[in-house]
């Protein structure tokens, strides 16, 4: 019991006041008696207070209400319920066992609990990384109305939650894309041009068939005219290719670019599946990571979600040669590839360029990389000294380098998206809708 017994600040304040009055008794004798009475009454009241706060074996019940699956980059609500099981009012100071990432261990929430009543307080948690988050032990200090002694109660909970890529952002983007009134929300509606088709079979030529579809190799083998028959293409393979290498660990607003790419990949995969396309996933760094073949079956989005949740990096350089070999071996049909990566220098882009060109010949490749928001802010700050001028000049030069890299990729016939991290999902979905409407696959 003594291990959980604490004296309050009010106790020390009252006793300090009594001692001070006793000291003044040297000037006027009656004050010494008054001071002693204050001290003795305080000690007696503290004993009564001690009995009150320890009279019940379990004065409180505690329950934490939370989602077992939270979402990356979103505000997730958590509720804590405290119930007073005694017949006296209690004042409680709650040190909630916040997840370590919140860095709020010293924050206290004070509540007054009436007899047999329940109080609830709520807070939000915005995780900046995927993975398992464990809640810590919750400590509650209980005080009676006398406010002189307090009792410490520990609630050693084993609560934990898994943080997944943001399903909430995915649903919000889905609503924007399939809502007719989306022009003001950043979604671009592109009119579909022409038709796209995919190979179905080789058949004998009949009058009326397009002579441009004659298959000359089959004709020479059969010794009669054979033509390729096509059908309207109903679904195209769409792959999100995520670079997990060291440059993707740069953080913006507490969340690194890899996690921005993971959230956007989930959003894009969902939109593609809703549009009738087949969605797949491929991750890489110095070696190939997760490979989920493009499919549009009912459980595909769940498989992609689990695949994205489990992505980890070893902070090594990306191997684009290995990426090209993996795509060549495992993705046989012409596909739309959204490559989420980051080039911080011209050298890094040129090193990957030969493999990007080869990929672009076999597939439709869109390279997505990031603007550095902090450099833009630094370049726009007022210049007050030579040091500020040098910093602003370097920041502006590095920012313009990104645009130069995007232009150079386009010169080689490779489509690219240079975007702010917060605009990544919107720009990626708009690009997909544009290419879908044009039928480029």
Residues 136 and 180 in one domain: no
Q: What is the CATH number of the domain that holds 102?
A: 2.60.40.10
Q: How far is CA 209 from CA 198, 231, 383, 419, in A?
A: 16, 14, 71, 46
Q: Which helix (H) or strand (E) holds 39?
A: helix 30-53
Relative orientation angle of helices 257-274 and 424-438, to the nearest 10 degrees = 30
Of the candidates 173, 164, 168, the residue with the CA atom closest to the CA atom of residue 306: 164
CB contact at 8 A, 338 and 241: yes
Residues 239 and 226 in one domain: no
* Residues in a beta bridge with 222: none
What are φ and ψ of residue 186, in 5° steps? 100, -5
Percent of the chain with pLDDT over 70: 88
Residues 263 and 223 in one domain: no
Residues 225 and 262 in one domain: no
Residue-level pLDDT at 193: 44
Residues 283 and 301 in one domain: yes
Tokens of 210: 């397009």
Those residues with Cβ within 8 angstroms of residue 366's Cβ, 6 or more apart along the chain or in another chain: 336, 337, 338, 339, 415, 416, 417, 431, 435
CB contact at 8 A, 185 and 39: no
Residues 128 and 263 in one domain: no
Instruction: Give the CA-trace dihedral at 307, 309, 313, 317, to 10 degrees.
Output: 50
Write out the residue range of the structural domain in which residue 109 sits. 60-164
162 burial class (0-12, 13-18, 19+ CB within 10 angstroms)? middle
- State whether residue 139 is helix, strand or coil: strand
Residues found in the chain: 441
> Over 375-404, what HEC string results?
HHHHHHCCCCCHHHHHHHHHHHHHHHHHHH
Beta-strand pair 138-143/149-155: antiparallel
Residue-level pLDDT at 230: 65
CA Rg, the chain, in Å? 33
CB contact at 8 A, 91 and 110: yes
Low-confidence ranges of the chain (pLDDT < 70): 1-2, 105-106, 180-200, 208, 230-234, 373-380, 387-389, 395, 398-399, 441
Those residues with Cβ within 8 angstroms of residue 42's Cβ, 6 or more apart along the chain or in another chain: 11, 14, 15, 18, 148
CB contact at 8 A, 358 and 338: no
Residue-level pLDDT at 52: 85
- State whether residue 424 is helix, strand or coil: helix
Our count of domains for the chain comes to 4
The overall pTM is greater than 0.85:
no
Residue-level pLDDT at 194: 45
- C-alpha–C-alpha distance, residues 161 and 132, integer Å: 6
DSSP string, 51-71: HHHTSSS--EEEEEE--SEEE
> Over 305-341, what HEC string results?
HHHHHCCCCCCCCCCHHHHHHHHHHHCCCCCEEEEEC
CB contact at 8 A, 307 and 279: no
- C-alpha–C-alpha distance, residues 130 and 48, integer Å: 50
Of the candidates 57, 64, 108, the residue with the CA atom closest to the CA atom of residue 82: 64
Residues 13 and 66 in one domain: no
Residues 238 and 342 in one domain: yes
Helix ranges (H only) for 180-277 are 216-222, 257-274
Domain boundary among 164, 181, 216: 164
Residues 254 and 355 in one domain: yes
CB contact at 8 A, 7 and 148: yes
Residues 274 and 227 in one domain: no
Residues 130 and 213 in one domain: no
Strand order in the sheet with 160-164: 69-71, 160-164, 131-134
Q: How far is CA 436 from CA 97, 190, 273, 304, in A?
A: 48, 9, 13, 21
DSSP state for residue 89 in the 8-state scheme: -
Residues 137 and 95 in one domain: yes
């Amino acid at each position: 019991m003594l291990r959980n017994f604490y004296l309050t600040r009010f106790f020390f304040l009252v006793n300090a006041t009594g001692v001070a009055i006793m000291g003044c008794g040297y000037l006027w004798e009656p004050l010494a008696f008054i001071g002693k009475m204050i001290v003795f009454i305080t000690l007696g009241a503290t004993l009564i207070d001690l009995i009150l706060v320890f009279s019940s074996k379990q004065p409180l019940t505690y329950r934490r209400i939370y989602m077992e699956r939270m979402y990356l980059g979103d505000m997730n609500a958590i509720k804590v319920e405290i119930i007073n099981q005694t017949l006296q009012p209690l004042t409680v100071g709650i040190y909630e066992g916040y997840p370590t990432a919140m860095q709020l261990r010293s924050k206290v929430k004070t509540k007054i609990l009436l007899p047999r009543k329940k109080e609830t307080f709520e807070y939000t948690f915005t995780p900046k990384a995927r993975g398992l988050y464990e809640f810590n032990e919750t400590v509650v200090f209980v005080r009676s109305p006398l406010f002189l002694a307090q009792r410490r109660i520990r609630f050693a909970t084993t609560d934990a939650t898994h943080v997944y890529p943001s399903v909430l952002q995915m649903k919000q983007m889905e609503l924007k894309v399939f809502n007719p009134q989306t022009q003001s929300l950043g979604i671009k509606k592109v009119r579909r041009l022409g038709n796209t088709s995919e190979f179905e079979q080789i058949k004998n030529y009949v009058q009326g068939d397009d002579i441009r579809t004659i298959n000359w190799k089959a004709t020479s083998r059969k010794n009669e005219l054979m033509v390729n028959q096509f059908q309207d293409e109903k679904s195209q393979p769409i792959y999100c290719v995520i670079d997990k290498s060291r440059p993707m660990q740069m953080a913006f607003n507490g969340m690194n670019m890899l996690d921005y790419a993971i959230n956007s990949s989930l959003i894009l995969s969902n939109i593609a599946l809703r549009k009738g396309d087949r969605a797949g996933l491929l991750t890489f760094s110095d070696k190939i990571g997760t490979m989920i073949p493009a499919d549009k079956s009912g459980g595909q989005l769940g498989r992609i979600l689990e695949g994205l949740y489990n992505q980890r990096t070893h902070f090594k350089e990306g191997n684009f040669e290995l990426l090209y070999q993996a795509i060549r071996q495992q993705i046989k049909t012409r596909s739309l590839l959204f490559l989420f990566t980051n080039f911080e220098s011209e050298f890094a882009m040129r090193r990957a360029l030969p493999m990007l060109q080869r990929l672009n010949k076999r597939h439709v490749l869109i390279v997505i990389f990031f603007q550095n928001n902090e450099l833009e802010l630094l370049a726009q700050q007022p210049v007050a000294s030579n040091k500020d001028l040098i910093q602003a000049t370097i920041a502006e030069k590095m920012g313009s380098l990104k645009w130069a890299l995007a232009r150079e990729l386009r010169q080689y016939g490779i489509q690219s998206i240079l975007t702010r991290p917060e605009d990544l999902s919107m720009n990626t979905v708009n690009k997909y809708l544009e290419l879908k409407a044009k039928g480029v696959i």
